[in-house]
Amino acid sequence: HNIIGWTTIPQACANYVGHYMLGHQYRKDSRGVTHEALLYAESLKLVGDCKDIWVFDIDETTLSNLPYYAQHGFGAEPYNATLFNEWVNKGEAPPLPESLKLYKKLLSLGLKVVFITGRPEHQRNVTATNLKNVGYLTWEKLILKGSSETGSTAVGYTKSYCLLV
């Protein structure tokens, strides 16, 4: 069920979610999604007009917070912004391997990459360093959530910026 308003997954589901995230199926699913994305990218007719960009979200798309969530019940514990920000500030999020492969292939096709995240502006340096340390070495733009967007949802925030990009 997709029940709106849940702030956590049911405790009874934590083991299932953990098994999925740490097992082979999550990687397999990621491989399938990035394969389809690459097929789409390869079908594009790039013209070099500065519109040849690919927008990546950061959290759970290019960088994985799985080590954090593994320590915090895979979503069965209520979200704790303080603890999550402490995790982000360590700059130790690993890449999602299939997304990193996609990123490299997109660059080789001539696409420019833009990263967008709901992370606040004060985490720019740690985010950029984390991206570089795990293999995302270059990008056209890194867009973080400014103080004026505080309170807006991540979906609303990223949609508005994607329209501008």
Q: Which candidate, 71, 165, 157, places its Cα nearest to that of 119?
A: 157
C-alpha–C-alpha distance, residues 100 and 88, integer Å: 19
Q: What is the pLDDT of residue 148?
A: 61
The residue to which tokens 């759970």 are assigned: 60
- For every one of its 165 residues, what pLDDT tens digit does the chain have, with 9 covering 90 and above? 566 678 899 999 999 999 999 999 999 999 999 999 999 999 999 988 878 999 999 999 999 999 999 999 999 999 999 999 999 999 999 999 999 999 999 999 999 999 999 999 999 999 999 999 999 999 999 999 986 655 555 555 455 555 555
- Report the amino acid identity of residue 28: K
Cα 128 to Cα 142: distance, rounded to the nearest angstrom: 8
Residue 10 vs residues 5, 41, 88, 118, 139: alpha-carbon distances, Å: 13, 38, 25, 25, 38
Residue 51 is predicted with a pLDDT of: 82
Among 3.30.70.1230, 3.60.20.10, 3.40.50.1000, 3.90.380.10, name the CATH number for the domain at 11-164.
3.40.50.1000
**Predicted pLDDT at 161:** 53
What global pTM score does this model have? 0.86
Count other C-beta atoms under 10 Å from residue 97's C-beta.
15
What are the DSSP calls for 132-150, one per residue?
A: HHTT----SEEEEE-GGGT
